[in-house]
């Protein structure tokens, strides 16, 4: 679904550039940029995307880990309650 949003945004941006005439003003500037700069910019964009992606994945893993630790903690509390109830009932 995110890819659809990205593609739609790129297409919308391209259409706006074509109809507003901004592209004709940018064309001489883009023509003077060395070809390797496009790879550098693409690498920066990809690196940012991967950093964001891994941050989201780390948050998901942290949530799962916290929930598991919480379950263990609640089990210990229940065991302690049962132990105290047995000790006080004797």
For 7, the domain range is: 1-37
- Whether the pLDDT of residue 20 is over 90: the answer is no
Task: Identify whether the C-beta of residue 66 lies closer than 8 Å to the C-beta of residue 74.
Answer: no
What's the first-to-final CA gap in the chain, in angstroms?
61
- Whether the pLDDT of residue 22 is over 80: the answer is no
33/65 same-domain check: no
What is the C-alpha to C-alpha distance for residues 30 and 33, in angstroms, rounded to an integer? 5
- Domain count for the chain: 2
pLDDT at res. 50: 94
pLDDT at res. 34: 87
In a domain, 72, yes or no: yes
pLDDT digits 0-9 by tens, 24-72: 777 787 778 888 998 999 999 999 999 999 999 999 999 999 999 999 9
With 0.85 as the threshold, say if the pTM is over it.
no
What is the C-alpha to C-alpha distance for residues 58 and 33, in angstroms, rounded to an integer? 37
What is the C-alpha to C-alpha distance for residues 20 and 14, in angstroms, rounded to an integer? 10
In a domain, 47, yes or no: no
- Whether the pLDDT of residue 23 is over 70: the answer is no
In a domain, 49, yes or no: no
In a domain, 67, yes or no: yes
33/1 same-domain check: yes
């Amino acid at each position: 679904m995110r890819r659809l949003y990205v593609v739609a945004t790129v297409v919308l941006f391209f259409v706006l550039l074509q109809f507003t005439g901004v592209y004709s003003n940018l064309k001489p500037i883009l023509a003077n940029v060395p070809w390797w700069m496009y790879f550098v910019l693409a690498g920066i964009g990809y690196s940012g995307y991967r950093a964001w992606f891994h941050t989201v994945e780390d948050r998901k893993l942290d949530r799962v880990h916290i929930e598991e630790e919480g379950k263990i903690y609640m089990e210990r509390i229940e065991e302690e309650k049962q132990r105290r109830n047995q000790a006080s009932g004797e």
